[in-house]
């Protein structure tokens, strides 16, 4: 019954969001006013001989503005422009370089091209790690040396307990630790000028900081901690099936230690692995690719072990998609049973098991053009500052920094720094906070949440992204964005995921409505709710912002707050607030305190 009730609530929110645009279009119409705006010198609107007054079309204006911008901006790479509304404008196809760390596609970036990729891979369940499960975080840098060679550098780290607890481990540490540093070189091999068939050599060398348990000769369990030198070699062969799809065949060998610890006579670790992988990438739209691969593990080594430290060979699968909403970044999501995140370890399953995992990735491409939109006016900039417990959907313009500092009378401290890498995407580089005097209802379930994320000496740090889908600056009726963040509490080493969908609707020139469905997912409890706020300009520089969060749980009372905002100018503001939310950092927005909190928040944009 609880599942059906939650599903009904989720469906209600979804239907409401589907109708926001039509509601916004009606509420934002003011037929008694004519808005005069200065437009660029464009033949569509201004004739050579005489002025001609025509109805203003926002989307057509932006299309014309983007075309003029493309002609004048010499820094934009040729054919590297994406236009949201005009498909006739050429754009660079940001082809995928790999399906997985162990299966490279024979696509090569241009000379001097470089990109940064940030990924998180995790189990769906908590296992022995509790929280959101075993996680592997990774970073990859790709750089094009020339038209035939590019290099990739990797860093990845996983430090959670074994997914299934190891039998007879005794008093030994229960954590499995992997940290990998890898350098990978991809070199094209010419095949008689073949346009459809591409071959390359792919080789890597890695340092593997490894701390794990192992089976001794007498079958006792020992602990091994050492930096291993490992590597891999592959010759991926890609055949272009048509303009939209490719097929890749990738034989690979990974060089891993076969013995670890004091044991020297019997093999007790992965060992060298030969595999044969098949992969395909299919472009179904100009900005959307489907990616999939399957790899057969041929031995003689292994790529998986269980609770009894018995090793086996498990075939590896990977299926997902790559979405390029903008040339400056792309997003990926996939399902796989591979836990490793480097070329030499990308075929290894989760420590002590073999189960499906999910992976999300963000890739950013410095130097590429951004989606062009109308410049923000002072009025729009002044509304970018977020609330205390309810967010808004407006993103600062590309190249803009956003900083917030927040503290209250109960001892809560929060601070954040974010950078707009694109007009469509903001990176939350730093988001930290500490909860003091947390006073939740004395319910076992939420008492555990408090003890995990808000206990004495807690320090929560989080990283996230905010992605904009709709904006009046690009001709839409309202703002619509999503935000995803992840992180952990440093004392307990437990984490959670937080996601929200945010819409901001201008009801009148002085009044905005924010609708903010949100969800927190951890191994302890999943909590969902809806935040609602109004942003009302009372007089110049003074705003009134009431907030309300309704939580879809009978065990958590709603919380509310009120903000009095003063704007010395559009780039900074000072908030004086009162709220009974536990705090402004993600989960804290959704939990209700017994005591009211009085606080000050300072917001800066530069």
pLDDT of residue 483: 95
Domain boundary assignment for the chain: 38-90, 114-364, 378-605
pLDDT above 70 covers a percentage of the chain that reads 82
Instruction: Identify the CATH class of 114-364.
Output: mainly beta
Average pLDDT (106-134) is: 83
Q: What CATH number was assigned to the domain covering residues 378-605?
A: 2.40.160.40
Strands (E), 337-459: 357-364, 401-408, 413-420, 425-434
Question: Taking the alpha carbons of 439, 440, 444, 447 in that order, is the dihedral positive or negative?
Answer: negative
Residue 591 has pLDDT above 80, yes or no: yes
DSSP per-residue codes, 101-130: TTEE-S--PPTT-EEEEEEEEEESS-GGG-
Q: What is the pLDDT of residues 371-384, one digit of tens each?
A: 888 888 888 888 89
Q: What is the DSSP string of 187-212?
A: EEE--TT-SSEEEEEEEEEEEEEEEE
DSSP-derived secondary structure for 474-538: GT-SSEEEEEEEEEEETTTTEEEEEEEEEEEEEEETTEEEEEEEEEEE-SS-EEEEEEEEEEEEE
Please name the residue that has the structure tokens 């937080």: 498
114-364 with 378-605: one CATH topology?
Answer: yes
Is it the case that residue 119 has pLDDT exceeding 70? yes
Average pLDDT taken over every residue of the chain = 83
pLDDT at 513: 96
Q: How confident is the model at residue 60, as a pLDDT?
A: 59
- How many CA within 13 A on the CB side of residue 475? 17
Comparing 80 with 43, which gets the higher pLDDT?
A: 43
Structure confidence at residue 383 (pLDDT)? 87
Residue 65 has a pLDDT of 56
Determine the Cα–Cα distance for residues 355 and 302; give it in Å rounded to an integer: 16
Query: Residue 7: is its pLDDT beyond 70?
Result: no
pLDDT score at 292: 95
Query: pLDDT tens-digit profile of 450-468?
Result: 778 888 788 899 999 999 9
pLDDT in tens, 25-49: 333 344 344 555 555 455 444 444 4
Torsion angle of C-alpha atoms 583, 584, 590, 591, degrees rounded to 10: 0
CB contact set of 480 (below 8 Å; sequence gap of 6+): 20, 393, 468, 469, 470, 501, 502, 503
Residue 220, pLDDT > 60, answer: yes
The pLDDT of residue 54: 63
CA distances from 11 to 8, 18, 85, 393 (A): 5, 11, 30, 21
What's the pLDDT tens digit per position in 241-288?
988 899 999 999 999 999 998 877 788 999 999 999 999 999 998 889
E strands, 190-344, where?
A: 197-215, 221-234, 237-242, 245-255, 273-285, 288-300, 304-305, 311-312, 316-326, 329-336
pLDDT tens, residue by residue, 381-403:
888 999 999 999 999 999 999 99
Q: Exposed e or buried b for every residue in 27-66, given b needs 16+ CB within 10 A? A: beeeeeeeeeeeeeeeeebeeeeeeeeeeeeeeebbbbbb
pLDDT, tens digit, 9 for 90 and up, residues 513-535: 999 999 998 877 788 999 999 99
Which tens digit of pLDDT belongs to each residue from 402-443?
A: 999 999 998 899 999 999 999 999 999 999 999 886 554 454
Report d(CA 562, CA 572) in Å as an integer: 19
Question: Global pTM?
Answer: 0.79
Closest CA to 199 of 283, 275, 277, 104: 104
């Amino acid at each position: 019954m609880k599942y059906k009730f939650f599903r009904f609530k989720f469906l209600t929110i979804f239907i409401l969001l589907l109708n926001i645009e039509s509601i916004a279009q009606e509420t934002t119409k003011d037929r008694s006013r004519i808005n005069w705006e200065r437009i660029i010198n464009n033949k569509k609107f201004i004739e050579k001989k005489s002025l001609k007054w025509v109805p203003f079309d926002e989307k057509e204006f932006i299309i014309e503005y983007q075309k003029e911008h493309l002609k004048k901006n010499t820094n934009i790479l040729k054919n590297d422009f994406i236009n949201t509304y005009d498909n006739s404008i050429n754009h660079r196809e940001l082809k995928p370089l790999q399906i997985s760390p162990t299966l490279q596609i024979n696509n090569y970036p241009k000379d001097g091209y470089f990109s940064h990729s940030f990924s998180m891979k995790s189990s769906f369940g908590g296992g022995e790690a509790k929280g959101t499960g075993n996680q592997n975080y990774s970073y990859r840098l790709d750089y094009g040396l020339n038209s035939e060679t590019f290099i990739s550098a990797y860093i990845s780290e996983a430090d959670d307990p074994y997914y299934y607890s190891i039998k007879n481990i005794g008093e030994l540490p229960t954590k499995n630790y992997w940290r990998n540093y890898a350098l990978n070189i991809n070199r094209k091999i010419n095949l008689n000028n073949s346009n459809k068939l591409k071959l390359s050599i792919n080789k890597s060398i890695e340092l593997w900081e490894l701390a794990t348990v192992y089976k001794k000769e007498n079958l006792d369990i020992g602990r091994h901690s050492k930096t291993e030198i490992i590597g891999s070699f592959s010759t991926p062969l890609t055949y272009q099936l048509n303009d939209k799809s490719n097929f890749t065949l990738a034989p690979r060998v990974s060089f891993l230690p076969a013995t670890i610890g004091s044991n020297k006579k019997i093999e007790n670790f992965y060992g060298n692995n030969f595999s044969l992988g098949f992969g395909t990438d299919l472009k179904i739209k100009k900005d959307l690719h489907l990616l999939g691969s399957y790899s057969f593990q041929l031995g003689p080594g292994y790529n998986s072990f269980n609770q009894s430290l018995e090793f086996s060979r498990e075939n590896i699968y990977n299926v997902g998609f790559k979405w390029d909403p903008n040339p400056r970044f792309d997003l990926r999501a996939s399902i796989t049973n591979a836990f490793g995140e480097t070329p030499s370890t990308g075929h290894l399953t989760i420590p002590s098991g073999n189960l499906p995992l999910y992976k999300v990735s963000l890739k950013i491409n410095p130097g590429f053009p951004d989606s062009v939109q109308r410049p923000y006016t002072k009025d729009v900039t002044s509304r970018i500052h977020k609330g205390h417990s309810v967010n808004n959907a407006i993103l600062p313009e590309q190249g803009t920094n956003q900083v917030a500092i927040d503290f209250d009378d109960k001892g809560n401290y929060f601070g954040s720094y974010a950078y707009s890498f694109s007009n469509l995407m903001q990176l939350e580089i730093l988001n930290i906070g500490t909860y003091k005097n947390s006073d939740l209802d004395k319910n076992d379930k939420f008492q555990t949440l408090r003890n995990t994320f808000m206990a004495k000496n807690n320090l929560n740090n989080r990283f996230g992204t905010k992605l904009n889908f709709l904006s009046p600056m690009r001709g839409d009726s309202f703002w619509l964005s999503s935000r995803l963040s992840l992180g952990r509490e440093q004392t307990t080493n437990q984490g959670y995921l937080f996601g929200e969908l945010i819409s901001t609707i201008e009801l009148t020139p002085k009044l905005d409505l924010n609708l903010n469905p949100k969800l927190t997912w951890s191994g302890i409890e999943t909590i969902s709710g809806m935040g609602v706020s109004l942003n009302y300009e009372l007089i110049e520089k003074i705003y009134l912002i009431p907030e309300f969060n309704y939580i879809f749980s009978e065990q958590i009372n709603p919380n509310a707050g009120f903000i009095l905002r003063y704007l010395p100018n559009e780039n900074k503001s000072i908030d004086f607030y009162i709220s009974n939310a536990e705090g402004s950092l993600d989960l804290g927005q959704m939990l209700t305190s017994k005591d009211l909190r009085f606080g000050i928040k300072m917001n800066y944009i530069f």
